[in-house]
Amino acid sequence: MKRIAVTPVILCFLAFAPGAFAQAAKAAAAPAVKKDAVPATAVAPPPSPELVKARMRPALKGTAYIEIIQGSPKPVSGELHNTTKVKNVSNAPIVGLRVDEYFYIGQKEAAVGSGKLRHALAPGEVAEITTAAQLKMGITSTQLMFTHANGQVKPKAVKKFTEDKK
């Protein structure tokens, strides 16, 4: 009984197998990539071994302290883009650092943009977080709100980052 049921399955497999192999041959015949091709975006250099080791320490739990240098929002293709530089002044890496930027027209909230750091921010490390929000005319003020995966964030606005004490 089992042999009778297996036979149609094997015949069906053999019937469709040449089609699968034919598609693989077409994919192999795709045009070769030019040797002088350049990627569309700049590739960041890999982080140093010391930085990778610092990021692998246990993450900060509780309140994180950071220094920020806020950029000015610029209109780009119907959106407001703002880049904020952030430095971790806590003694442990900050995981899941997120910034929400609120734009106001007078007293009314007009737009919200958010950005997130995709890797842990090691102690003393500086990173840039870019936010993007819908462009609206008449924006009078902005406000930044920071959070991280394990608690709240206390930002301190500075004109220049402090030097590390070694």
Domain ranges of the chain: 49-157
Q: By three-state DSSP, how is residue 56 classified?
A: coil
Closest among 139, 9, 123 to 80, alpha carbons compared: 139
Predicted local confidence at residue 17, as pLDDT: 65
pLDDT at position 72: 87
pLDDT of residue 64: 93
pLDDT, position 100 = 92
- Write out pLDDT tens, residues 92-146: 999 999 999 998 988 888 888 999 998 889 898 899 999 999 888 888 888 999 9
So what's the pLDDT on residue 115? 92
pLDDT tens, residue by residue, 9-68: 676 666 666 665 555 555 555 555 555 555 556 666 777 777 776 777 888 899 999 999
* pLDDT computed for residue 73 by the predictor: 86
CB atoms within 10 A of CB 96: 15
Q: What is the pLDDT of residue 146?
A: 93
Supply the CATH classification number for the domain 49-157.
2.60.40.1620
pLDDT of residue 49: 74
What span, in angstroms and rounded, lies between the C-alpha atoms of 129 and 126?
10
CA distance 133 to 121: 24
pLDDT at 14: 67
Per-residue pLDDT, 28 = 54
User: What is the widest separation between alpha-carbon atoms in the chain?
Assistant: 82
